[in-house]
Amino acid sequence: MISLAGSIDDLQHVVAELFVVRASGHASDSQRNYPLWELSNKELKRLLEEGVGGVILYGGTATELQHRCKTILNWAAKPLLLCADIEEGLGQRFDGGTWLVPPIALGQIFSIEPEKAIKLAEKYGSCIGDQARRCGLNWVLAPVCDVNSDPLNPVINVRAWGEDPETVSTLIQAFQRGLELQGVLSCAKHFPGHGDTRVDSHLQLPRLDHDLNRLKEIEFIPFQAAISARVSSVMTGHLLLKKLDSQYPATLSETLITQLLRQELDFDGLVVTDALVMEAISKTYGSAEAAVLAFAAGADLILMPEKPEEAIKALCSALLEGRIPKQRLEESIHRRRNALAKVKESFLVLHDKDFLTSGIELESSEDRAFAYELVSNSLQTVNAGSVKAIRQGVNLLRVDDVFSSSILTNNSPAICLPEQYGYKTILCHPRGVSPWQEDQQFPLALDRLGEVPILLQLFIRGNPFRGSSHLKEPWVAAIEQLQSKNLLAGLVVYGSPYLWAELLKVLEASIPAGYSPGQMPESQTQTLSSLFSPLDGPSDLQKSRLQEFT
């Protein structure tokens, strides 16, 4: 039993267990990629000593991550939940881990070969769980259970396993089986369903007209499937469903969390909020108020409050004042400790220490073969092998932001392979070259790009914080413009299947084109290799570069 009669310090030490703060996977403060969100080592160590019970990690290499997890565990006053947002494999966030195609690729395979997709989804979960565990993580923030029913969804998009509840349900259950085999905790998100929105909750609060019948017919089905498959936790979405709760978004709504998730769907595992620093919440509620409202509504774990200490103290005050019954605290502490009992911290050492001390790579040859298989099975090409080497051309490469891009380096296949064929790279991104002019029918400023053949590579998918900015880019008109001048040498789309389908409608039958749901180097290599014709008499340099990427 937890007593509220002791000192405030004792209560804060207990309440702090229910908070998950963000830290960098890098060891040094100066290496933090997002210092506004990632605590300094001094702050992190102090909060862990004061009882904070969870850390979410971003950035660094897989080896750094394992060092980091061990350091953090040594700082902590109690057993920790250590998690990461690795929906697409450890390599999505940490170099040296395996980066897999996004879940939508499995949904596309499922529509053609369902049994194959189910086996791949289970292996997908097992691969992620194995690498997470070996690095020291005991909680994977996946699977995404949202049904991507709106092609213009700016933030879920390829993160979803499909566009109908049956596909999503079948594949997330397979994923859960694979993840569970590896002994790590899972997280179904974003309840009650973020798939039918055109607003990114990182930027503002989505408002939905769905009633309970609609939720039961579509959104709830994958969450019910995840619960049946013994998912460890459910993450709430920052969504306002005004027909169910006109005042509070789901993260802060007793109706959504307690009445629907707990009672209607009979879920008794951990409920965790989505990050409270996201502007869907932070624009309206302060750290203290958001934490108290979320806990009162039925959440067990508070993820990334802007000011953790302020939020912990506010929750203590709400308990002492009787605004929240002591029983709620006892229930949440019990659920957290039960979850941790399933993933004993000793898994961090055991045989996994060999990865750290003996130079063994985290990513096995089997993992690499699996990543290759997923890309290969989801790759689509038109007029394969017909892009030929030329004397002068442009490789026009569109990315969201080259400065924060994890998909491009100087040695990326999307840059190096086209250059071997005579296509000089021009990067199009918000802080770089703008290819546009004020002409809706002919939007590309060809005088700046050059009247030469253009290979167009588009990296576009649902991305947090980007909103719907890519929808304003006139790629359909750009392709029609290039085709009218006979300058389109080829088209590649990495990411959104919806953009790919839209552009195919206007693409001339003779144009080489390729699509991969993934954006990582493996996707770039396979897609481009399928489109280019063999070089005639390549130089030694060309041979070595081509061998590197093919």
Task: Pick the closest to residue 232 from 277, 267, 200, 198 (CA basis).
Answer: 267
Strand ranges, E, within 403-465:
423-428, 454-460
Amino acid residing at 258:
T
Q: How far apart are CA 247 and CA 383, in angstroms?
A: 54
3-state secondary structure 277-318: CCHHHHCCCCHHHHHHHHHHHCCCEEECCCCHHHHHHHHHHH
209 is catalytic: no
- 387-416 b/e (C-beta count within 10 Å ≥ 16 → b): bebeeebbbbbbbbeeeeeebbeeebbbbb
Task: Pick the closest to residue 378 from 192, 112, 119, 8 (CA basis).
Answer: 112
Pairing, β 380-382 against β 513-516: antiparallel
Q: Which of 274, 300, 367, 400 is catalytic?
A: 274
Which residue matches tokens 């508070």?
302
Q: Which of 194, 202, 238, 429 is catalytic?
A: 202
Do 287 and 307 form a contact (C-beta atoms < 8 A)?
A: yes
Phi, psi of 3, deg, nearest 5: -95, 140
202 is catalytic: yes
DSSP-H helix ranges across 321-474: 326-342, 353-357, 365-378, 413-420, 446-449
Q: How far apart are CA 44 and CA 298, in angstroms?
A: 26
Active site amino acids: 202, 274
